Chains A and B, each alone.
Chain A
């Protein structure tokens, strides 16, 4: 299966960098999925959770507050203000779920968006 590179960077450094087969991004105008070979797009990101499936079929989830994403055919670059890994490459749930929720709660978004994001984090937990 073809893959593309997914990079998530914050002002404090890179949070995730790896090859994925599909990723779902939380755009300002709605959630959208990206597959390799996607047309070039630049979009604002809203508070939410970025999920991706890695090359070896593992789920990765990263909670973010806000930022941008640049999609090109072989690369997805997300530039975000704050991000916390909820589920890492090994499929292991991280123990900083509280951090993720705190990050989401502090985001400047509508209550509905934040609530959706938090419930998403909680659903990953199960």
Chain B
């Protein structure tokens, strides 16, 4: 049986850990609230930009033009697929990153069995470390972006991807990240970024009047789609960050309550050991007195 001193030391260390995990939980919940707000704010932008693309495509449809821009061209059997993986920069958030990586690995297997080449573009230190360890080649990687999403950096990252797409170096671009549902649930979200699905932009309401475009609709649509892609990337980062904080909060909550349970059972052990020591001492004293008689 462990000595009293050992148990005491252990209780102290577990209590220390508990304090740390509890503090991390509080920090995460504060950060979560902020991340949630930012994501909510930018949702409005998403709605507006989608609406605008819808109306332009409706306008093109009216003049009997197909959406024949390369952004909208779909390929039946893609030869090269670019996977954009978003994970966190920091750990201690439960299965948050491993779930994403698992899904990505399933995709890699699926595409490779269909004879497509998969290229990885990775965001976040966790996935970078994982794929380095697994010996997988990374086409592009960026860190410190998922923990502090910046529109400019996200745009720069994704523009390299769309440039490759336009140059014909890749046929399909997919973004995988772990998204936020609520404080305690995350969900893997998969975005088929490129080619864009024209049916997604079918307008819900019929445009009433003829739309005038300035400069011309092709230039406008191209610029708008480029902006849309940048924004999708940025929004995915925000969503991922909110989910990360949610996952961390949950993990730290579990860790704190585990530590509490551990302190409880250690205290019982400590009390038992102390009681045993007292009993032994008493017996020694009594038997000493007995023998003196």
Q: Name A's B-contacting residues (CB within 8 A).
A: 7, 9-14, 27-29, 39-44, 68, 70, 72-73, 77, 79, 81
Which of chain A's residues have a CB closer than 8 A to the CB of B219? 44
Sample of 19 further A-B pairs with CB below 8 A, known A14-B41, A44-B220: A9-B48, A10-B45, A11-B42, A11-B235, A12-B151, A13-B45, A14-B44, A39-B210, A40-B208, A40-B211, A41-B214, A44-B223, A68-B220, A68-B223, A70-B52, A73-B209, A79-B48, A79-B49, A81-B151
Min CB–CB distance A2 → chain B (angstroms)? 17
Which of chain B's residues have a CB closer than 8 A to the CB of A27? 214
Q: Give the dominant DSSP class at A's interface.
A: strand
Which of chain B's residues have a CB closer than 8 A to the CB of A14? 41, 44
Chain B interface residue count, CB cutoff 8 Å, equals 29
Which of chain B's residues have a CB closer than 8 A to the CB of A28? 214-215
Which of chain A's residues have a CB closer than 8 A to the CB of B38? 12-13
- Among B210, B214, B231, B234, the one with the most A-chain Cβ atoms within 10 Å of its Cβ is B214
Which of chain B's residues have a CB closer than 8 A to the CB of A13? 38, 41-42, 44-45
Instruction: Pick from A29, A70, A79: contact of B55, CB below 8 A.
Output: A70
Instruction: Name the residue of chain A whose CB is nearest to the CB of B219.
Output: A44
Min CB–CB distance B226 → chain A (angstroms)? 11
Instruction: Name the residue of chain A whose CB is nearest to the CB of B207.
Output: A40
Instruction: Pick from B151, B212, B220, B235: contact of A39, CB below 8 A.
Output: B212
- Among A28, A77, A79, the one with the most B-chain Cβ atoms within 10 Å of its Cβ is A79
Contact with A along B220-245 (1 / 0, CB 8 A): 10011001000100110000000000
Which of chain A's residues have a CB closer than 8 A to the CB of B211? 40-42
A65 to B211, CA, bound (A): 24
Which residues, 179 to 210 on B, are CB-close (under 8 Å) to A?
A: 207-210
A13 to B235, CA, bound (A): 12
Contact with A along B31-56 (1 / 0, CB 8 A): 00000001001101100110110011
A3 to B226, CA, bound (A): 33
Instruction: Name the residue of chain A whose CB is nearest to the CB of B214.
Output: A43
Contact status A12-B215, CB under 8 Å: no
Which of chain A's residues have a CB closer than 8 A to the CB of B48? 7, 9, 77, 79
Contact status A41-B212, CB under 8 Å: yes
Min CB–CB distance B172 → chain A (angstroms)? 25
